[in-house]
A = this chain, B = another copy of it.
Amino acid sequence: MDTDLYELDRVIAAAASAESTPAERIAWLDGVADALDAAADELIPLAAGETRLPETPRLRGELARTTFQLRFFAEVLADGAYLDATVDHADPGWPMGPRPDIRRALLPIGPVVVFAASNFPFAFSVAGGDTASALAAGCPVVVKAHPGHPRLSERTGAIVRAALTEAGAPEGIFAVIHGVEAGVEALRHPAVAAASFTGSVPGGRALFDIATARPRPIPFYGELGSVNPVVVLPDAVRARGPEIVAGYLDSFTLGAGQFCTKPGLLLVPAGHGLTEPLRIGIETKPAQPLLNSRITEGFLAGATRLRAHRSVTPISAPDEDPLRPKLFGVSATDFLAGGELLRSECFGPVSLVVEYESTGELLEVLDALEPGLTASLFAQDTEIDAARALLPALTGLAGRLLWNQWPTGVTVTWAQQHGGPYPATTAPTTTSVGAAAISRFLRPVAWQGFPDALLPPAVRSDNPWALPRRVDGKRE
């Protein structure tokens, strides 16, 4: 049932910025992770029923990823560097003039609205990465549930709330709301300080426009669309064409192509001789149900438009089962002349093979693409120089570059980067996965001339939290 506006107002009023310490939040995150793991046998069938995703290995793996991520942010808190604590003592000899004592650290930005995604009912939903990183930062979180899995969202939310309460978190630190209107009103609410979103370009852009048009605009961290080009160089085709074909087919059909990192374009040299292996390989990939009827319709419409495009040649056979994965081919020349349709993400198990005649043409294609989350390069050691020449173009296109690896599968680590210039995200300086995701929900404050008794622990002289800090310019 949709959240009504009285209830929404109550929820956001409750989401007051109750203060907490990193140590307390470690207990919250670990408690939530444990509670979700303990509820796996209840949650996974619920998720399977609402998303049509297979329980094993997919949903079990995704829940493991989700609880790992909660515990990982507890590690980020324990490490403490995320606070960016910096102490500059007074210095009468500072070259631009006497320097006062000034100390800086990051504080929770305030209540955050998280718009959950449909395609990861655990990892990018109610207890997903945005929630984990915002809670880790110390922000109250209001999750706007995705309508694709309302019962799972409600149940996950209840487990998260109970675990937070059990771990001593303040009332109001977490809530789940439902419905488009409640989501939009939450985004407009004066007490809300930031929002995050994972989903489509039109949906994300509409919310971004609302967030930036507020009387007081707030940061909006939207992860929108990505075509995830994969470039294959000639020697790699010669040395391991069939292996690359197999990896490509696995990657773009994984999870029925419903990943934001699905390789939507394979750029191969003309005369590659891989059409037959691609044609044969794609026939072995079974139809899989898509998440819901809206996504199914979008996929079918997109695939139909591609098939009808004058320059596009089908590689996969027309099939009685419309949900079978679909593969099309096009020359780079026709791709460049073929308009927006060929360059746009089509969610679901469909991909486009683009044949380039020369490096120059390959660069033209890359230049014509919009930025995205990933760009991959398959090449042999003999092609290092050619690869190096392509890297500037690929780097401009994506937040994560892959070498002889497929973009699906996004590990949660210190170094992970899941983002990129628009339309990959609305915030190109940030990431939604990995340790740095916490920075989205923190704002810096400096204290000038304060006595220790009034300073927050992060910048107190005795460093009670034993944080790594920069003091008078030196890292400690």
Contact = CB atoms under 8 A, between A and B. Distances in A.
Given A96-B69, A445-B401, A449-B404, A104 B475 contact: no
A382 to B, nearest CB: 12
Given A94-B413, A104-B416, A444-B417, A426 B473 contact: no
Contacts of A337: none
A433 to B, nearest CB: 10
B87 A453 contact: no
Contact of A415 (B86, B193, B391, B401): B86
Contacts of A409: 97
Contact of A94 (B370, B411, B435, B449): B411
Contact of A411 (B68, B99, B450): B99
A358 interface: no
Given A88-B415, A217-B208, A445 B403 contact: no
Interface in A388-402: 388, 391-392, 395-396, 398-402
Q: How many copies does the complex hold?
A: 2
A470 interface: yes
A440 B99 CA distance: 24
B414 A470 contact: yes
A407 to B, nearest CB: 9
Given A454-B387, A468-B475, A426 B217 contact: yes
Contact of A445 (B87, B400, B444): B400
B429 A445 contact: no
Interface in A417-476: 417, 419, 421-423, 426-431, 434-436, 439-440, 442-451, 453-454, 468, 470, 472-473, 475
A254 to B, nearest CB: 14
A1 interface: no
Contact of A444 (B81, B399, B448): B399
Given A102-B411, A411-B96, A416-B104, A216 B65 contact: no
A18 B403 CA distance: 24
Which one of A96, A391, A447, A468 has the greatest number of beta carbons of chain B within 10 Å?
A: A96
A107 interface: yes
Contacts of A475: 81, 468
Interface in A68-96: 68-69, 75, 79, 81, 84, 86-88, 94-96
A281 interface: no
A224 to B, nearest CB: 11
A359 interface: no
A413 B109 contact: no
Contact of A403 (B208, B209, B416, B448): B448
Contacts of A414: 86, 88, 104, 470, 472-473
Contacts of A68: 95-96
Contacts of A79: 473
Contacts of A426: 217
A296 B75 CA distance: 55
Contacts of A107: 395
B429 A384 contact: no
Contact of A429 (B64, B443, B451): B443
A275 interface: no
Given A86-B415, A103-B415, A421 B212 contact: no
Contact of A436 (B61, B84, B109, B404): B84
A435 B475 CA distance: 13
Which one of A396, A402, A440, A445 has the greatest number of beta carbons of chain B within 10 Å?
A: A445
Given A61-B97, A88-B415, A391 B454 contact: yes
Nearest to A431: B444
Interface in A95-123: 95-97, 99-100, 102-104, 107, 109
Given A96-B411, A100-B405, A219-B429, 11 more contacts: A86-B414, A86-B415, A104-B417, A209-B213, A212-B217, A216-B423, A384-B454, A398-B445, A400-B447, A414-B473, A429-B440
The 3 closest A-B pairs by CB, nearest first: A417-B446, A68-B96, A104-B415
